[in-house]
Structure 1
Amino acid sequence: MRKKVLIIAFILFFITETASASTLYEVKKGDSLTKIAKLHNVTVADLRTWNKLTKDNIFIKQKLVVQKPATVKGTTNTTPVKTAPVVTAPVKNELVVSPAPVITVPSNVSEEGYAYYPLIIDFAKRLEGIPYLYAGNTMAGFDCSGFIYFLHTQAGMKIERKSSESYYLESIVVTNPIPGDLVFFQNTYKEGISHMGIYLGDNQFVHAGSKGVEITKLDNVYWKEHFVSFNRFVQK
């Protein structure tokens, strides 16, 4: 069973690496939503929905989701899931769309984590540099729990927008963390659980800090002092 799960995880990672290259687009001078939509063969309405935009105003160096990530969910049974078509690099100003394979997503992975972890990790790294915004949970800016909410909903997990303290209470502590698990901290700007991020392995985590989305070492004096635990959401 473990071997099968690892194979599935590898397949998912390979698919994710191919698709994620077209997931984010950095706005350049002269761009508009209409121009970006045409370039990526999507609609302006899609761009508004994926990026939670209420207006058509965009700014240079803003990162926009231009292809909705494949939905990956834990289920009570092993279920085939069709991923979204993969848009490859333009060739002679034309977008080439290749058919996506069908993969089998394991249900409620425990020791190995969840099948959507590679997608979350890859996406999180690509959001590095997006500014901090109190209560933010869109590409315009994130706070720590808003960052977690955005990543997981983009990966297809149905969770509500809550505080880091609430997410801590809704997850379980794991003693052997793997990349993709949650990491919690306490007594940062307030008493109790007050900050969270995504564990990347190699003693690093990615989070929406005061300087924006960044990758930080867990042995940093400040974070080491406020560290609480590694956790994992409970799939329903």
Structure 2
Amino acid sequence: MRRVIFTLVAATALSMAIGASNTEASTYTVKPGDTLWKIASSNKVSVDQLLSWNKLPSTSIHPNQTIKVAATSATAPPKNTGTKAPVISTSIYTVKAGDTLSQIARIHSTNVSSIQKLNQLPDSNIRPGQKLTVSGKAQANTPTVTKPNTYRVTSGDTLTTIAKRHGVSVSQLMSSNSLKTSSIRLGQVLIIDGSSATGQLVTVSKPTTTAPSSGAISTVIAIANSSLGTPYKWGGAAPGGFDCSGFIYYAYNQAGFNVPRTSTTGFDAISSPVSSPQIGDLVFFKNTYRAGISHMGIFIGNNSFIHAGGDRVQVTSLNDSYWGSHFDSFQRLNVTK
């Protein structure tokens, strides 16, 4: 009899221990340096599942926060019926300083191309505070071109942004659509081409494709080209990742120039404007993610520049509608080897 009682007690204790172990295994206490993506990867779940199980409004977490890392009976997903569940809602993410499209795409288990389509982004450039749709149906959130020469107004559009996107002026849009004011409404269809030739990108200047003035500048260009594809990293100034000013700092210093690690405004302060830029001169842009000088690259000829922008180091044409509209100046660094 005692043996039976002992067996029952032991079995009960073992059952309780297993239950406690399962409960502990279903939660995780956030440590300094953790991210929701890192926690999801460690527990072989998705970020979206963590957001859902913990009812988190965003991917922001803090040390000592307790996170559910497994579904409970109340949050367990419905059984698979053999049919794919339709997308019934969208998810909005607010860009933080240091974010890149590739990071945001990875966190939300999507890709850069999908986010660009959902938000009608002309390139990979984003700014802190910007709200991005990161999931849902593109056709429900993307501005729609109904005909080759028309455009349907979507949420957040202004006549100015539409004009820049299509390479036309606000006055052309107003004239083509007989608008008396710049007010537009959601769903309104606008004629883009009008009576004049429009939609063509305008070169912001006519720089000469002058060869590098020295072998050292040729080295700068070679180093810059060897960095193509390197990921964008806020504050980065090494081959593992660059921001725009860190990229300039790295390329010039590796070529033997004594260049300080400074910001875009710092580089602007130690440079002089030039009207006929040479290969290796700097290109400055203004009013991108903040007011004033806010981005820079290296002029490489053929009206193009190489820069750490969007999610990587890349070559972009100055004829690009976005960069052309934010162009500020060509300048030459006042530094020596």
What TM-score, normalized to structure 1? Answer: 0.52
Aligned counterpart for 2:292 among listed residues 171, 176, 192:
192
Cα offsets for 1:174-204 (capped at 9, x unmatched): 1000111100000011000000000000011
Aligned to 2:221: 121
Q: Which residue of 2 aligns with 1:215?
A: 315
Q: What CA distance in whole angstroms lies between the structure 1 residues aligned with 2:256 and 2:217? A: 11
In the superposition, relative to structure 1, how do residues 123 and 224 fare at CA in structure 2: closer, same or farther (>3 Å)? same
User: What CA deviation, in whole Å up to 9, does each residue of 1:125-144 have, x standing for no partner?
Assistant: 11100000000000110000
- Is the counterpart of residue 132 in structure 1 residue 229 in structure 2? no
Choose between structure 1 and 2 for higher RCO, CA contacts under 8 A separated by at least 6 residues.
1
Counterpart Cα distance in 1 of 2:212 and 2:282: 14
Counterpart-to-counterpart distance in 2, 1:113 and 1:165: 25
For residue 218 of structure 1, what is the amino acid of its counterpart?
A: L
From 211, 219, 244, the equivalent of 1:144 is 244
The alignment of Structure 1 onto Structure 2 pairs a total of residues equal to 126
What residue ranges of structure 2 are gaps of 5+ in the alignment? 1-210
In the TM superposition, 1:19-168 aligns within 5 A as 113-168=213-268
Residue 327 of structure 2: aligned partner: 227
RMSD between aligned alpha carbons?
A: 1.4
* Aligned: 1:174 with 2:250: no
Report if the CA contact (8 A) 2:258-2:335 is conserved.
no
Amino acid at match of 2:335: Q
Aligned structure 1 segments of 4 or more residues deviating by more than 2 angstroms: 111-115
Deviations 1:38-71 (A, max 9, x none): xxxxxxxxxxxxxxxxxxxxxxxxxxxxxxxxxx
SS of 2:330 mapped into structure 1: strand
Cα distance between partner residues in 2 of 1:115 and 1:235: 15
* Structure 1 segments unaligned to the other structure (5+ residues): 1-110
Distance 1:163 1:125 in 2: 21
Percent sequence identity over aligned pairs: 44
The residue matched to 2:328 in structure 1 has which SS? strand
- Shift of residue 113 of structure 1? 3.7
- Select the structure of larger CA radius of gyration: 2
One-letter amino acid of the counterpart of residue 136, structure 1: G
Maintained 8 Å contact 1:113/1:181: no
Q: Secondary structure at the match of 1:185?
A: strand
Letter in 1 for 2:221: I
2-structure distance, mates of 1:179, 1:129: 20
> Higher strand share goes to which structure?
1
1:8-23 equivalent positions in 2, closer than 5 A: none
Q: Which amino acid aligns with 2:225?
A: K
